[in-house]
Amino acid sequence: MAIEAEDTPLEQLMWKVVTLKEAGYRFLTLTALEVDEETAEIIYHFDINLQMKNLRVRFPKGTKIPSISPIYFAAFWAENEVIDLLGITFSGLKIDYHGTMYLDAEDKDTVKTPFCRYTFVKKEAE
């Protein structure tokens, strides 16, 4: 099942999020993924009266994304999780765990973000 999402240029993200907030939409969560070796995307999920609205932002890896937590405070949880799991960074994050939300920041032996990147290879039957 494909998610219908409005493709949103990064430079329009904050304006569109503010517009949704003013229209009464609530922030649900976000989905982040690596599209390929150079590209990542985030889909922001909102709803009003049980009607979903999704904004898709694609960007080159290494791009610092503006945090929507100044508009929807609860977004800091999902954005920190994206930092931990994929290494995508955000500017203006209201609460920033700096890639250690799931880790003990004092433990010098723990693996820092991103946590893991698995590659699956189909093995032919012998």
Q: What per-residue confidence (pLDDT) applies to 1?
A: 56
Please give the Cα distance from 126 to 117 (Å, whole number): 27
> How many domains are there within the chain?
1
Contact yes or no for 80/69 (Cβ under 8 A) = no
Domain holding 48: CATH number? 3.30.460.80
Flag the least confident range among 9-13, 31-35, 115-119, 120-124.
Answer: 115-119
43: part of which helix (H) or strand (E)?
A: strand 39-48
Write down the pTM of the prediction: 0.82
Report the pLDDT value the prediction gives residue 36, as an integer from 0 to 100: 87
Greater pLDDT, 115 or 91:
91
Rounded to 10 degrees, what is the CA torsion of 72, 97, 90, 32? Answer: -80
Question: What SS3 class is residue 85?
Answer: helix
Q: Kindly write down the DSSP assignment for every residue of 55-69, as one continuous string.
A: EEEEEETTPEEEPST
Domain that holds residue 3: 1-126
Rounded mean pLDDT, 4-16: 96
* pLDDT band (50, 70, 90) for residue 120: very low
For the residues 6-29, what does the mean pLDDT come to?
97
pLDDT band at 84 (very low <50, low <70, confident <90, very high): confident
